[in-house]
Amino acid sequence: MSTDTAEIASADAVELARPTRAGRYARLRADAARMTAVRDCWRALWVSRAIVVCAGVGAVVAFGVGRARSAFDPAGLTSGFGWLGDLLAAPVARWDAVWYLVIARYGYRPDLAAFGTGPRAAFFPLYPLGVRALSELSVPPILAGVALSLAALAAALYGIHRLTTLELGRLAPRGEHRGDVARLAVLATALAPMAFFFSAVYSESLYLALSVGLFWCARQGRWGLAGVLGALAAATRSAGLVLVVPMLVLYLYGPREDRAPDFAVNRRSMGGDKRPHGHADRPGGPARPWWAPRYRLRRDVLWMAALPAGLGVYMAYLALAGGSALMPFHAQEAWNRHFAGPYVAAWDGARAAWDGLRQLLSFQRTHVYFKVAGGSPFVDAGHNVTLFAFLLAAVPMVVGVLRRLPAAYGIYVLAALALPLSYPVAPQPLMSLPRFEVVLFPLAMWLGAWLAERPRARLPALGAMALLMALFVGEFATWHWVA
């Protein structure tokens, strides 16, 4: 065979070996688990977003936009698109969306005093950078933000479906309900009362997608990719840094799909026999106490350092731009957020909710029970009661995650909740807690398993969640503070 003929044959072989788009789609269709995930996620996505749009637009048509817009959006970034455009922007561009739009347009330059440079640093850069990148393609900023949020939401729902299926043996011991767990977990995520933030110009959906992706990669032993996703999550919001905790737990203790443990678990030290978490997590070495790591440290553990590096890059940028590297932390003072001690905000929130309940039941404004808050006593009371209700609702879900999911999931939930529950806001000790909870996907995974075992509770529970989401997005769209 001549040299030219050999080169042609080699090129043909490479071309044949290269996966085409049609080939990849054919393999996807042949994978029953992935196709089921795609169908379930698509259904949850369009149904939930239809509720968000209809409820938000309907609330604006019925009640108007309120008076807060002029105070919190003086530059008119969320309006001025014509009557139809303003209606469609209502469910997606309110409150903190203004901050992200300002950052996408102006950045964090300290010389720009408009909108408050210091507080602006509390909003981490990855999401507004994505909005700006899409805007450079002549996409309107709000549309760019919604497109980014929806794409991230779709990826997150798919990842939650796959993760829930991976943990199926632990989540659904009753075989007849196993096929429902992942679908219900996805629905619980998409229809959660605060899930309307997932399609708004907010960073919630991007952070959710990155955190789910980190768990999936860590479960598969793909530590490099997990480290990159963790770094991006840490550049998306301050809570991203806590992802290093579950990542380290999965590295040392599993469950892991990439290899068997280096050490077995001493069942006697655990007080009984427990099933291993994963098929590759069977004992493969000398027995150790339950609290001792099951995997030896290797060089790939260094990928853990990528997570704080994501925050470090943001802090270095602020310092080099003429500001302070600590601006993201000092910016919280603008909202009166302060450290009160580990989980102390739970007690503060309980007291504020009790005073709020007394205020509401008194039917009067003369005597104010919770004097720390300003503004309308009834409005503040309603906020504090609602926030505490979200805390109470999370308690059985956290307990369920700790009992039924691998330890890394529960540890992640506890570490993530430590931030809002240790740094209260004086007028509303539990401010933003519902938004912190909605991105904690292990809660939805547990709820999917709980609903799978209780068929009669599915429709009432999901219907109540969807109704609450419609009510909250109606408040959000009309410029009433939510979460």
Q: Read off the pLDDT of residues 179-236 as tens digits, 9 standing for 90 and up.
A: 689 999 999 999 999 999 999 999 999 999 999 999 999 999 999 999 999 999 999 9
Is the pLDDT assigned to residue 442 strictly greater than 80? yes
* pTM to 2 decimal places: 0.90
241 pLDDT tier (thresholds 50, 70, 90)? very high
For residue 68, what pLDDT is reported? 76
Q: Read off the pLDDT of residues 170-185 as tens digits, 9 standing for 90 and up.
A: 545 455 455 689 999 9
What lies within 8 Å, CB to CB, of 135 at 6+ separation is: 104, 141, 144
For residue 430, what pLDDT is reported? 94
The two three-digit tokens of residue 227, written as one number: 């480290």
For residue 393, what pLDDT is reported? 96
For residue 272, what pLDDT is reported? 41
Task: Please report the DSSP string for 162-230 in residue order.
Answer: HHHHHTHHHH--SGGGHHHHHHHHHHHHHTSTTGGGGGSSSSHHHHHHHHHHHHHHHHTT-HHHHHHHH
**DSSP single-letter state for residue 425:** B
Average pLDDT, the chain: 86
Q: Read off the pLDDT of residues 306-340 as tens digits, 9 standing for 90 and up.
A: 999 989 999 998 888 777 788 888 877 777 788 88
The two three-digit tokens of residue 450, written as one number: 């709980």
Q: Could you tell me what percent of the chain has a pLDDT over 90?
A: 62
What lies within 8 Å, CB to CB, of 138 at 6+ separation is: none
Mean pLDDT of 437-449: 96
For residue 267, what pLDDT is reported? 57
168 pLDDT tier (thresholds 50, 70, 90)? low
Q: Is the peptide bond before 289 cis (omega within 30 degrees of 0)?
A: no
Q: CA-CA distance, 480 to 473, in Å (whole number)?
A: 10
Q: Read off the pLDDT of residues 8-23 as tens digits, 9 standing for 90 and up.
A: 444 444 444 455 666 6
Mean pLDDT of 348-374: 90
Mean pLDDT of 284-309: 84
Mean pLDDT of 465-480: 96
Nearest to 124 by CA among 328, 265, 295: 328
Q: Read off the pLDDT of residues 123-158 as tens digits, 9 standing for 90 and up.
A: 999 999 999 999 999 999 999 999 999 999 999 999
Paired strand residues for 288: 265
What lies within 8 Å, CB to CB, of 77 at 6+ separation is: 93, 98, 101, 102, 141, 142
Nearest to 245 by CA among 414, 420, 394: 414
* Integer CA distances (angstroms), 150 to 226, 354, 381, in order: 22, 38, 33
Per the model's pLDDT, the better-predicted residue between 118 and 107 turns out to be 107
Which of the residue ranges 30-34, 82-86, 111-115, 377-381 would you say has the lowest mean pLDDT?
111-115
Q: Read off the pLDDT of residues 382-441 as tens digits, 9 standing for 90 and up.
A: 999 999 999 999 999 999 999 999 999 999 999 999 999 999 988 899 999 999 999 999
Q: CA-CA distance, 60 to 21, in Å (whole number)?
A: 43
For residue 21, what pLDDT is reported? 60
Per the model's pLDDT, the better-predicted residue between 64 and 470 turns out to be 470
Q: CA-CA distance, 441 to 212, in Å (whole number)?
A: 8
Q: Could you tell me what percent of the chain has a pLDDT over 70?
A: 84
Q: Read off the pLDDT of residues 65-113 as tens digits, 9 standing for 90 and up.
A: 877 777 788 788 888 889 999 999 999 999 999 999 999 988 886 655 5
